Amino acid sequence: MRILVSALEHSANVHFKYLMKELGEDVDICGIFDAALGESIVDLRSTAIMGFVDVFKKIPFFFRLKDQMVELASEVDKVLLIDSSGFNLPLAKAIRKRYPNKEIIYYILPQAWAWKKKRIPVLEKTITKLASILPFEPSYYSPMAPIEYVGHPLLDEITVEKTDLTPTGIITFMPGSRPGEIKKLMDVYRNVRSRLTCEAMLVIPTHFNDATIDKLYGDISGFTVTHDAHVTLANSDFAFICSGTATLEASLIKTPFVLVYVAKKLDYIIGRALIKLQYAGLANLLLSHAYGITLHPEFIQHEVTAENLYNSYLKMDKEQFFRDAVKLRALLQHGSAKRVSELLKETQHA
pLDDT in tens, 202-241: 999 988 999 999 999 999 999 999 999 999 999 999 999 9
CATH hierarchy code of domain 2-153+335-347: 3.40.50.11010
Q: Is 138 exposed, middle or buried (0-12, 13-18, 19+ CB in 10 A)?
A: middle
| Alpha helical stretches, state H, 275-317 | 282-291, 306-315
Q: Which residues contact 95 (CB under 8 A, 6 or more apart)?
A: 69, 70, 73, 79, 102, 104
In angstroms, the CA 157 to CA 248 distance is: 12
In angstroms, the CA 237 to CA 233 distance is: 8
Q: Quick one: what percent of the chain has pLDDT higher than 90?
A: 80
Among 318, 320, 328, smallest CA distance to 284 is for: 328
What are the sequence ranges of the domains in the chain? 2-153+335-347, 170-332
CATH hierarchy code of domain 170-332: 3.40.50.2000
Q: Nearest 5°: CA angle at 305, between 303 and 311?
A: 100
Whole-number pLDDT of residue 69: 97
Whole-number pLDDT of residue 44: 84
Model pLDDT for residues 293-337, shown as the tens digit of each residue: 999 999 999 999 999 999 999 999 999 999 999 999 999 999 999
Low-confidence ranges of the chain (pLDDT < 70): 48-56, 114-115, 264-277, 347-350
In angstroms, the CA 263 to CA 190 distance is: 19
Q: Is the dihedral of CA 325, 263, 267, 176 positive or negative?
A: negative
